[in-house]
Amino acid sequence: MSTTRRRTVFRTVAFVAVSSLVALGPAGAAAAATGRPSQLQRDTDALHEDGVTGVSVTLETPRGVRTARSGVGDLGTGQPVPRNEYVRIGSTTKTFVATVLLQLVGEGRLSLDDTVDTWLPAVVEGHGNDGRGITLRQLLQHTSGLPDYTSDVVPDLSAAGYRTNRWTTYTSEQRVAFAMRHSPSFEPGTAWKYSNTNYVLAGMVIKAVTGHSWEQEVQARIVRPLHLTHTLTPGTWPFLPAPHARNYQQFEPGGAITDTTTAYLPFDGDADGAMISTADDTNRFFTALAGGELLAPAQLGAMQHTVEVPADHGAPPGTRYGLGLDWTPLSCGGGYWGHSGDGFGYMAWPATDGRNAITVSLHSRPGDDITATRQIREVTGLVDHALCSARDEAPQ
């Protein structure tokens, strides 16, 4: 799930910060030697000081790689956030899935103007939902109006509910069937609203076209060609590989925090948000995508053709959404491409301006919307500072 387009079932996390920081990489080492933390480290520390248990950041520029960590990766042991950690990337998965579907468009195997019903007959129907009038483009751009299934798979938004229901698995068809219990939000193509159901359907379309699961196609078309050796499509396997930090969720304002490192399979297991990666791999993916390594110009242009994200959605001002890819303006001019992802206890925020790439990972979420909004604002501020500074430092 995307943090800027949060599932309504989530609250996110504020609580007393636990430990302090370690700076990594050449820039961090130099700052430590002089006693002057870099801006990247200061921004990372600010997130920890605002209640995030553990934070890690990796910034890649033509001048090299800079990293920063703050807080702890395990509240029980006090161990720091691991270097080169595996993280859940949640709805960042959607960009991988959209890329595969657009590759199929480039191969002439389908069209963005195909209806959902063309490939998935009678799957989207009931309560006013009609796959005969929804295009694949509208799925990828969240302009389909389809209801989001995720509230149906969180019957109890509490620590006990998480523990009880986290092992439950659903097929893609079952997830779509949950959504079909509800009426659409609007007529297709008339507005924008984030719905994870769109990408469950996109994964199903990939299988209908290729005969292979979306996971197989992502691996064959993106992961292996780019040598993303730490990027996984784990299916219903609910655990993170080592090394990883632990994730923590606060389920109500002021409440206790819960270790949510184990996936919540009802929504962590499909084409809308199942993947696991590392900051290095995620940066490599977005750099390759923006640089035209994965899509032909026509398909990349279609992906980057954006619509406005409503101001009340919680995204940074000026954010626009393409096909599985969003664009956020920078204070220094221009903007960056990315797609955030989150779930119980975690958030990933990758971004690239085409030359530099950054991924921010948070390992806890607060239980109140005010803190959640403030932490997201701090993440976007960190990304803005990092990319604008990298631009200023670039050789002329």
44 vs 27: CA distance, rounded Å: 14
- Closest to 252 in 3D by CA, of 129, 75, 371: 371
Task: Choose, from 56, 70, 91, 340, the residue flagged as catalytic.
Answer: 91
Q: Which residues contact 369 (CB under 8 A, 6 or more apart)?
A: 11, 12
303 and 102 in contact (C-beta within 8 Å)? Answer: yes
Instruction: Name residue 259's beta-bridge partners.
Output: 248
Question: Is 91 a residue of the active site?
Answer: yes
DSSP codes joined into one string, 7-52: -TT-----------EEEEHHHHHHHHHHT---HHHHHHHHHHHTT-
> How does DSSP classify residue 232?
B
> How does DSSP classify residue 119?
H
> How does DSSP classify residue 171?
-
250 and 15 in contact (C-beta within 8 Å)? Answer: yes
Beta strands in the chain (DSSP E): 21-24, 54-61, 64-71, 87-88, 125-126, 129-130, 248-250, 257-259, 276-277, 307-308, 320-321, 326-329, 335-338, 341-343, 346-352, 357-362, 364-365
> How does DSSP classify residue 222?
I
Catalytic residues: 91
